[in-house]
Structure 1
Amino acid sequence: MTSPIKLATCTYQEFTPDMGTPVRTTAGRPRFALPYPMTAHARLITPSWDLVRAGLPQDAYEFQYRRALNETGLEQIQAELLRIAGAYDLDSPLVLLCFDKLNQLPARDAWCHRTHFGKWYAEQTGVDVPELGALPKQAPAQGGLF
């Protein structure tokens, strides 16, 4: 299965309008001024407040988030994203935004719901969802002393 829309992910802070159409995917709105207008909200892929507040480790969080995505279903999620794209620009990628700056987290903690959504969506459709923000820092390789 392929995707009728182009998707990417980024942070609110790193997004620039040349990347595409900004789409909120967070339970809460940014409490800081954005240098671009943002009116779109992909509610079906937004994690619930209960999940956000649960403080789960990555594997448990991903399990719960994927469960919610699977219960909603790819067809409904794509329909919502297509409605958002149609309201703006079908040729412009939808850039799914959240707060987590992956490059500022330790490598083992460099994840958020947008990375889990990107993986899930790619598995469902075969279409990659690139991250447009700064990528996580890689752990340094362990080399010899000499």
Structure 2
Amino acid sequence: MSIQLATCTYQEFAPHMGTPVRTTVGHPRFALSYQLAGHARLITPTRELLKIKAQDAYEFSYRRLLNGNGLDAIRRELTGIAGAFDLDSPLVLLCFDRLDRLTPPDNWCHRSHFAKWWTEQTGDEVPELGGQATAAPTPPPTLFDM
């Protein structure tokens, strides 16, 4: 059975997007207008991982966590969460980081690293449903550039 996945923030998620799934260490500290379907523990970063600020070091350690848990176990956990819900709609993996408020190269979080890892492992794309970060604006040309 193939499972559809997508990612988003708690704040930007709307029920028409799919089945909401928590992937964060902590619960949201604000009221949600929807009910979470479950907690994907095998893809939730550890508290130690959250202390890493450098993207390359974080991604290396997070991938080690994902590889240690294994694709089959992660797929089973996600399929189990999806089992009681509409299998035709994606599981939407949620976290707090709004990528559209971050500028490159800081526009990443664990869900974007998970999406990349999942695509590499399965060939299945994991779309981001929240706002996307835009490239840094190009400064207007100066007289010396003309």
Q: TM-score, normalised by structure 2?
A: 0.93
1:35 is paired with a residue whose SS is: coil
Q: 1:91 aligns with which of 85, 88, 106?
A: 88
Measured against aligned partners, the alpha-carbon deviations of 1:12-50 in whole angstroms (never above 9, x if no partner) come to: 000000000000000000000011111411000000111
- Decide whether the 8 Å contact of 2:37 with 2:81 is kept in 1: no
Deviation of the 1:144 alpha carbon: 3.1
Paired residues for 1:119-130 under 5 Å: 119-130=116-127
- Decide whether the 8 Å contact of 2:19 with 2:37 is kept in 1: no
Aligned to 2:108: 111
- Paired residues, what number? 143
- Decide whether the 8 Å contact of 2:99 with 2:107 is kept in 1: yes
Q: 2:70 aligns with which of 58, 64, 73?
A: 73
Task: Give the gaps of 5 or more residues in structure 2.
Answer: none
2:20 is paired with a residue whose SS is: strand
Residue identity over aligned pairs, in percent, reads: 62
Matched, 1:133 2:92: no
Deviates more, 1:129-138 or 1:86-95: 86-95
1:107 is paired with a residue whose SS is: coil
Give the structure with the larger helix fraction.
1
1:127 is paired with a residue whose SS is: coil
Superposition RMSD in Å: 1.3
Matched, 1:20 2:8: no
Measured against aligned partners, the alpha-carbon deviations of 1:75-119 in whole angstroms (never above 9, x if no partner) come to: 100010000110222111000000000011122100000000000
Task: Give the gaps of 5 or more residues in structure 1.
Answer: none
2:94 is paired with a residue whose SS is: strand
- Decide whether the 8 Å contact of 2:21 with 2:94 is kept in 1: yes
Aligned to 2:3: 5
Aligned to 2:58: 61
Q: Compare CA radii of gyration and give the structure with the larger one.
A: 2
2:83 is paired with a residue whose SS is: helix
For residues 71 and 143 of structure 1, what CA distance do their matches in structure 2 show? 48
Corresponding letter in the other structure for 1:24? R
